[in-house]
Structure 1
Amino acid sequence: MVSVLAVSDETIETLWSTQVRSLDVDLVLGAGDLPFEYLEYLTDALNAPCVFVPGNHDADLTGYSAGRVGWMRAGLPSAWPGPVGAVNADRTIVSAAGLRIAGLGGSIRYNDGPNQWTQRQQRRRARSLTRTESWKRTVRGDLRGVDVLLTHSPPFGVGDDTDPAHVGFECLDDVVRSLQPQLLLHGHIHPHGQTPEDLELHGTTVLNTVGYTLLEIEPGGRAAENVPTIVRRRHGT
């Protein structure tokens, strides 16, 4: 069982303090729109790896790659603007603390800010996730399931809102069908201190993790016996 601290959108005072060290956490998952310093602090204080996707209020992290001599962008040395030591899972599938995590960051496009996409653009971006998984299963014979789909925005019609900035992504329906993760963790939709309803999409549990959610996940992808356990949660202010 892997203990996971999932966070997004709103900093929690007790987590950004020495009190967080009382938590026994194996992995930090960031669903976007948090200060990168906050993710760095959680990683250091908990001595746990961090996997994240960017939100629509985060810096533009596209085009960066880590090389032998440091970070590069457009073939030139560049300073990495993201959280130090954390793994950006946007448009890829990564392994951390025994879990496989697929990531898709950003929100629906509603102005000229970074990490915003039209439905068509996000659909194209999402194909890299399903193609990567299909290649691993077909070519490499890797039959391990995806444990977590980590997104900033929720699926369209499943935990999203109706205003132009908070409509969910239609393509996540196909991504969930293809990857069949145990969990879809998202942020972006502020519940204003209330506990939003936990939802389901094609057998995958969909959780809004604005604020934080502490949960336990059994590795191995979606299976009848793999039911994530929510230990504690706080949904913002």
Structure 2
Amino acid sequence: MPKVLTVSDEVVEDLWTAKVRAHQVDLVLAAGDLPYDYLEFLADALDRPCVFVPGNHDADLTGYRRSSAGLWTRDGLPTPYPGPTGAVNADGRVVDVGGLRIAGLGGSIRYNTGPNQWTERQMARRARRVRRRAGLRRLRDGRGVDVLLTHSPPRGCGDREDRAHRGFSCLHGAVAALRPGLLVHGHIHPHGEAVPDRDMGGTRVVNTVGYRILDIPEGRHGA
């Protein structure tokens, strides 16, 4: 059972030092809204891969492609990559890293003109694409998704009522189809309140603002 360090939204100063090496983990999962050099440090200090999705305060990473020569392009033109070096962007994708199959859906509900914000309809469309990709992988190797990594939570599952912090209703359908053992999200700052894990039909839902150390169960091979 892989052990992971999950982080989002709030920098934990002790993790940005050599003290982080005391955590024996197999992987770093980042749920958005953290400095990219912080993620690079965690991956380098732990000597472990990092998988992330962007939050609503992160740079827009859509359209960037890495060539076989290792050069980044956008709209076909060479350009510096603004994301974390060496980390895997799982947004809108299904990736196999560190012994886990991870589906990613970054961003928040749209509340202004900033990057990485989606209407409910747009996120539902993105979630359907991820479900199709996960289904094709499962047809090839019989393996389901272990972790659904999101920035925002599902609607009514630890979200808030203000416009910027509402969760996505469509994530309920994604969880039902993918049936991951774990959904990891950020975006909802607890401000000192206790944040219990939640259950969605057997999927453990974890708010990782700050950080958590988690053992990841094997996925249940959903659609």
With the length of structure 1 as denominator, give the TM-score of the two structures.
0.90
Per-residue CA shift, 1:5-58, capped at 9, x if unaligned? 000000001101111111111100000000001000000000000000000000
Q: Spell out the pairing of 1:44-59 with structure 2 (5 A cutoff).
A: 44-59=44-59
2:187 match: 188
Aligned partners of 1:217 and 1:8: how far apart in 2? 17
After TM superposition, give the deviation of residue 83 of structure 1 in Å: 0.3
**Could you tell me how far apart the structure 2 residues matched to 1:92 and 1:213 are?**
23
Equivalent position amino acid for 2:194 in 1: T
Pairing of 1:141-152 with structure 2 (within 5 A): 142-152=141-151
- Could you say which residue in structure 1 is the equivalent of 2:37? 37
Distance 1:137 1:215 in 2: 24
SS at match of 1:101: strand
Q: CA deviation at 1:191?
A: 0.2
The AA in structure 2 aligned to 1:60 is D
1:192, distance to aligned residue in structure 2 (A): 1.1
Give secondary structure in 2 for the equivalent of 1:174. Answer: helix
| Structure 2 residues not aligned, in runs of 5+ | none
Counterpart amino acid of 2:5?
A: L
Q: Counterpart of 1:131 in 2: which secondary structure? A: helix
| 2:154/2:168 contact within 8 Å kept | yes
Root-mean-square deviation over aligned CA pairs: 1.1
Counterparts of 1:148 and 1:195, CA distance in 2: 23
Partners of 1:144 and 1:72 lie apart in 2 by 32
Partners in 2 of 1:149 and 1:207 — Cα distance? Answer: 11
User: 1:222 maps to which residue?
Assistant: 220
* Whole-Å separation in 2 of the counterparts to 1:202 and 1:62: 32
For structure 1, which runs of at least 5 residues remain unmatched after alignment? 224-237
Task: Give the letter for the 2:97 counterpart.
Answer: A
Query: Which residue in the other structure is 1:80 paired with?
Result: 81
**Aligned amino acid, residue 222 of structure 1:** R
Distance in 2 (CA, whole Å) between partners of 1:181 and 1:137 is 13
TM-score by length of 2: 0.96
Paired residue total = 220
Q: How big is the shift at 1:128?
A: 1.1
Structure 1 or 2: more helix by fraction? 2
User: What residue is the counterpart of 1:113 in the other structure?
Assistant: 114
